[in-house]
Amino acid sequence: MNPITRRTCLQAAAAATLIATPLAAPAALAQGAGQGAAAPGTSLEDRPLFGATLRTLPNGLRVAHVEQRRAPVIANYAYVAAGGGEDPPGLSGIAHYLEHMLFKGSPRVASGEFSRRVAREGGNDNAFTSRDVTGYFQHVEASRLPLVTMMEADRFAGALIPAAEMESERRVILEERAQRTGSSPRALFYEGFDAAMWGRQHWRGRPIIGWEEEIRAISHADLLAFFRARYAPGNAVLVVAGAVSAEEFWKVAEAEWGALPAGPAVPRDRAPPPASPPEPRFVRNDPRLRGEANFVRSWQAPSMTAGDSALADPLEVLRHLLGGGQGSRLHRALVEGGIALAASASYDGDVAGWTDFDIAATPRREVAPERVEQAIAAEVKRLLDAGGPTEAEVARSIRQMSAGSLLALDGLGAAPRMIGNALAIGLSMDTVEYWPRRMRAVTRDQVARAAETVLGRAPSGSGWLLPEGVAAPAEVRL
């Protein structure tokens, strides 16, 4: 399953109104708001979404807790602040490879036994690798929290990573790559497009699963070095949500995780974006493509952790009003206008390092591709020429996004995924807890500035995925 960040959870909820592997010292300062009734007169949108509490153990491990007692179950999530973006040059895919190998045993848990034990307890477990984090989680009956905590801490402390099982797992990963990417024209296109926009060896241009030739080159020594450098309490986050009190959780976490040595703190080394895309116009013709073509235009954009972070929230609003659903500008102009089957905008600001702002569209089969590219350029130009969106558009988008965010409270895994991702990339818990309030503070002028800065001035590129024999139209300059 894909990792869920605050953005993905909240935007999915609003629409309704990262690669997976199947399968004891006292606590320090507490932070965050506890659960309980909001102060009189406090609106729902001014309350914390989850009422989480946060502590940091002496070894540097951050542990967050969310009490939810709708059912006698818990979700236990452990995050490492290292994902595909931390893969060393020439070793793309190593974070994901290591994720697989962490199911191959630890001092107290035999190879493959982790998932078997969870299954015997009626639970489920999984893991995922995104560009920013590697995450491991279990959903079990609440009384089994000590068991899964013990097993998780055990593999973080001393995963065996047996050389004897490395080649069989390499074959699994190569098959996963073939199924997810090699067999999909669209997946191959977007993999190539990212490399064209950022560079094949830039951390944003490399696929999280890795380039095939580099997956084949990863050695046992490489895996051990990455594990020893990155898997340490000071580089990790533990989040538990469910039917367990904070006191019970702290006791279990301290007992199993507290004795782990802190390990070295390893900062992220995220390179800035290139001055311009290495290949600003990327075209791929695929003979397997029998359906519609795809067009995408991408701009380099700041995030909450890199560049002008003050633009991140306004860019979220801009994304919504441009391409966030049926009422958006792009939907009205392209889909209701009869030239596209779908049109959308995307932006992910809660990431480590620079990100991008994208507009994508799928032309109708009977429509010439250039008409879609021209229509998108015209819509962007209209927005910029007008000095940004209207007050009404901004207010409507903020209202829809904020209302939809309340739906993110549902589901046991939402809180640990959103909070864990935020903490692992260096954001505070409040960036999740008070997201609706932050959105309501965004002004029209801020959105206009974000649009001009990114859509008007930032380096950009475009790409077409087309059937074999169909020529790409001439690029429309913005």
Same-domain check for residues 54 and 175? yes
Residue whose token pair is 């993110």: 408
- The Cα–Cα gap between 345 and 360 comes to 6
Q: Give pLDDT, residue 15.
A: 35
State which H helix or E strand residue 154 sits in: helix 145-158
In a domain, 265, yes or no: no
* pTM of the entire predicted model: 0.91
Reported as half-sphere exposure (CB side, CA atoms, 13 A), residue 272 has a value of 7
Q: Are 404 and 10 in contact (CB under 8 A)?
A: yes
Q: What is the SS3 assignment for 162?
A: coil
In a domain, 441, yes or no: yes
Same-domain check for residues 77 and 204? yes
In a domain, 191, yes or no: yes
Name the burial class of residue 392, with classes exposed (0-12), middle (13-18) and buried (19+) by CB atoms within 10 angstroms of its CB: exposed
Using the 8-state DSSP alphabet, how is residue 88 labeled?
P
Q: Which of 127, 124, 123 is nearest to 104 (CA)?
A: 127
In a domain, 181, yes or no: yes
| End-of-domain residue from the set 242, 257, 272 | 257
- The Cα–Cα gap between 101 and 87 comes to 16
Q: What is the SS3 assignment for 353?
A: coil
Same-domain check for residues 327 and 240? no
| End-of-domain residue from the set 223, 257, 291 | 257
Using the 8-state DSSP alphabet, how is residue 31 labeled?
E
Q: Are 349 and 426 in contact (CB under 8 A)?
A: no
Same-domain check for residues 350 and 252? no
Same-domain check for residues 147 and 219? yes
In a domain, 267, yes or no: no
In a domain, 275, yes or no: no
The amino acid present at 427, given as its one-letter code, is: L
In a domain, 41, yes or no: yes
Same-domain check for residues 62 and 168? yes
In a domain, 268, yes or no: no
DSSP result, 215-239: HHH--HHHHHHHHHHH-SGGGEEEE
CATH number at 242 reads 3.30.830.10
Count of C-beta atoms within a 10 Å radius of residue 123: 20
Same-domain check for residues 373 and 433? yes
Burial 151-168 (b: 16+ CB within 10 A, else e): bbbbbbbebbbeeebbee
Same-domain check for residues 442 and 302? yes
Reported as half-sphere exposure (CB side, CA atoms, 13 A), residue 472 has a value of 18
| End-of-domain residue from the set 224, 241, 257 | 257
Same-domain check for residues 194 and 339? no
Same-domain check for residues 158 and 294? no
Q: Give pLDDT, residue 47.
A: 86
Same-domain check for residues 233 and 287? no
Reported as half-sphere exposure (CB side, CA atoms, 13 A), residue 237 has a value of 26
Number of domains in the chain: 2
Same-domain check for residues 54 and 172? yes
CA distances (Å), 10 to each of 210, 330, 348, in order? 29, 21, 12
Count of C-beta atoms within a 10 Å radius of residue 43: 9
- Domain containing residue 180: 6-257
Q: What is the mean pLDDT of each successive set of 10 residues along the chain, which is 478 residues long?
A: 41 39 31 38 72 97 96 98 97 99 98 98 98 98 98 97 98 98 96 99 98 99 97 97 97 97 86 98 95 94 98 98 95 98 97 98 96 98 98 96 74 94 97 92 98 98 96 90
> How far from the centroid of its chain's Cα atoms is residue 263's Cα?
26
> Which amino acids are annotated catalytic?
99
